[in-house]
Structures are given as structure tokens and as C-alpha cells.
Structure 1
């Protein structure tokens, strides 16, 4: 979904681009990762944690984007990895 800057500001309070997230699952455990941060953790479909992040703010309380140099996702029948 493409959203213009004005609509993003109205909906989300910022005109920054939305983060693309990735969902990984291992049995009843599922996590959502976006922008180098854990955005959610659920167990048997029930949200247990909503986000773990370490934002760095500027003087206007804007959040600096994390500089991710590389991400590696791995999924198998035994589980998943994220490095």
C-alpha cells in the first residue's frame, strides 16, 4: 500500500515511510521484526510483548532510524534465527 506524505502524517503522526516487517514463527511462538527491532511477540496467538526498541531521539522528539547494515532471517522446522 502506497500512502502519500499528508495521509501518513494524518494517520500516523509522521510523514516518515512505514517500516516493512517480517514475521517469524516456531510452533506456538511468533515474533514480528521491523527496522531492526522486535515489534511483537505472541504465544499461541496471544500478544505477550508489544515491542522492544531503543529509540534515539532528536531535539524535536523525532526518532532516528536504525542503521541496519545486514539482516539474516532463518526458518526451519526446529525454529528460526534472526541476526
Structure 2
């Protein structure tokens, strides 16, 4: 931690920088509160990678109607399996 003499003013911190705000506030916490903050941050990070649940849209229904004569349902099932892998 940097100490300043009385004739020097500490640098003005950028209040718009979330990283700096977090660091400054974490340093002010007790060790127990720091551990809790880490748990909360980890929980937030876990949620970030999880996509929000969405309802299934059926706007595509009937979109392959023109392929009905070209493929059987079994062939389409195999193609869909290949596309997913």
C-alpha cells in the first residue's frame, strides 16, 4: 500500500474502473469478508458461462417441407446426427 506525505495528495482513482473499485474495497475488508467476496465472485463467474434458459421456438416448423421427396425421415435423422457431431 502506498503512503503519501501530508503535502502530497493521493492520485485520484478512476471511479469508472470496476477493477480498481473492487481492489480498493476488498483491501478494506476483513479476511473473513474477503473469503465471502471470493465465494460470491466465483458464483457470479459460474453463472456467466451458463446460458439463460430460453423457450423453444418452433418458427422453423415446416421449413424442410421441400425436401420431403428427396430424403426419408431416417436419412434426415442421420444427417441431423452428423451435423451435431
TM-score by length of structure 1 reads 0.20
As a proportion of its length, which structure holds more strand? 1
The answer to which structure has the higher helix fraction is: 2
Structure number with bigger Rg: 2
